[in-house]
Amino acid sequence: MAIDFPNSPSNGDIHTVSGKQWQYDGEKWVAYGASLAPDVLKVDTANNRVGINQTTPTVALDVTGGMRVTGDLTIEGTTTTINSTTIAAQTSLTFEGATADDYETTLTLVDPTADRTITLPDATGTVATTTDLASYLPLAGGTLSGAIVAADQIISAPVMKDYAETVYAGGNTSTAQTLALTNGNVQSWTMNGNCTFTMPSGATLQAGSSLTLILTQDGTGSRTGTFTGVKWAGGTAPTLTTTATTGIDVLTFTTFNGGASPVWYGFAAGLAMA
């Protein structure tokens, strides 16, 4: 087949005939590339780019459509961008890090028995490893380094040793005081008025809750106290010590039903403790 090449070509000019490309090297036309339609395979020698199903490649290898690699694929560069909805892997994902050595981070994949979802980032912006989880909740010994909120969940069969309860210093009682176990199960108050105490209640109040009150008379003394919804031992409420400043009484309470309308049982654990 005769080929009609352009007259007076310049060095590097490309001439395409029936899908085959020719390039002028300053002296002659040299055939190169494949005899494929440009919309299937585009060789852009001017920009050192190749397009597959792409007639105007914008990067060194520009592929439109699916691509399958049989064998290992090595990508070298500073950034790899994957704009996909799903990345499918069968066994693991391994992250080498900046240093190519014997230490990597591997996400191991196993066949799930149901769909699972892990959201990244999580609430802290990090993903906890097995070591991290062990530091949060030791399964075989360890030391807690922060507060634990059980959120009214049952903790079974603990063996307690050297423990304490929070002591809440409530300050002055004034003439009316609503008590709350969220402040602490042991509370100290200064009686600076004849006070009516409203006992703890509410939907979150658990059956079996207890409360210890340490009541101290102020500098005036002679302060009295009454308690709502309390049944006292022997049916008689104790008389508080009224000595100014040094009058200290310890009262204990327990409830077996909890809730919004608890029945509290009260006991004088110690009167006139000063």
Note whether residue 191 is domain-resident.
yes
- Asked if 62 contacts 52 with a C-beta cutoff of 8 angstroms, the reply is yes
Quote the pTM value: 0.54
Note whether residue 219 is domain-resident.
yes
- State the residue for tokens 């050297």: 162
Torsion of CA 190, 192, 198, 202, to 10 degrees: -50
Domain span including residue 58: 14-63
Note whether residue 228 is domain-resident.
yes
Please write down the HEC assignment for all residues of the chain.
Answer: CCCCCCCCCCCCCEEEECCEEEEECCCCEEEECCCCCCCCEEEECCCCEEEECCCCCCCCEEECCCCCCCCCCCCCCCCCCCCCCCCCCCCEEEECCCCCCCCCEEEECCCCCCCCCCCCCCCCCCCCCHHHHHHHCCCCCCCCCCCCCCCCCCCCCCCCCCCCCCEEEEEECCCEEECCHHHCCEEEEEECCCEEEECCCCCCCCCCCEEEEEEEECCCCCCCEEECCEEEHHHCCCCCCCCCCCCEEEEEEEECCCCCCCCEEEEEEECCCC
Pairing of strands 105-108, 176-178: unpaired
The residue out of 63, 87, 103 marking a domain boundary is: 63
pLDDT of residue 54: 83
Residue 261 sits at the vertex; the CA angle it makes with 165 and 179, to the nearest 5 degrees, is 40
pLDDT in tens, the chain (274 residues): 678 888 889 998 888 877 677 888 899 988 765 556 667 888 787 788 888 888 888 999 889 888 888 888 888 888 888 887 788 888 888 888 888 888 888 888 888 888 888 777 766 777 666 666 555 555 677 787 888 888 888 889 989 899 899 999 999 999 999 999 999 999 999 999 999 999 999 999 999 999 999 999 999 999 999 999 999 989 999 999 999 999 999 999 999 999 999 999 999 999 999 7
Note whether residue 99 is domain-resident.
no
Question: Which of 198, 188, 196 shows the shortest CA–CA distance to 218?
Answer: 188
d(CA 270, CA 129) in angstroms, rounded, equals: 52
pLDDT of residue 65: 86
- Domain count for the chain: 2
d(CA 236, CA 227) in angstroms, rounded, equals: 12
d(CA 162, CA 151) in angstroms, rounded, equals: 23
Note whether residue 73 is domain-resident.
no
Q: Please count the other Cβ atoms lying within 10 Å of the Cβ belonging to residue 23.
A: 19
d(CA 199, CA 191) in angstroms, rounded, equals: 16
Note whether residue 138 is domain-resident.
no
Note whether residue 247 is domain-resident.
yes
The two tokens of residue 226 are 């009454």
In sequence order, the 6+-apart residues with CB closer than 8 A to the CB of 67 are 52
pLDDT of residue 133: 56
Note whether residue 225 is domain-resident.
yes
pLDDT of residue 37: 67
- Asked if 107 contacts 127 with a C-beta cutoff of 8 angstroms, the reply is no
Please give the backbone phi and psi of residue 234, each rounded to the nearest 5 degrees, phi first. Answer: 75, 0
The two tokens of residue 268 are 């004088």
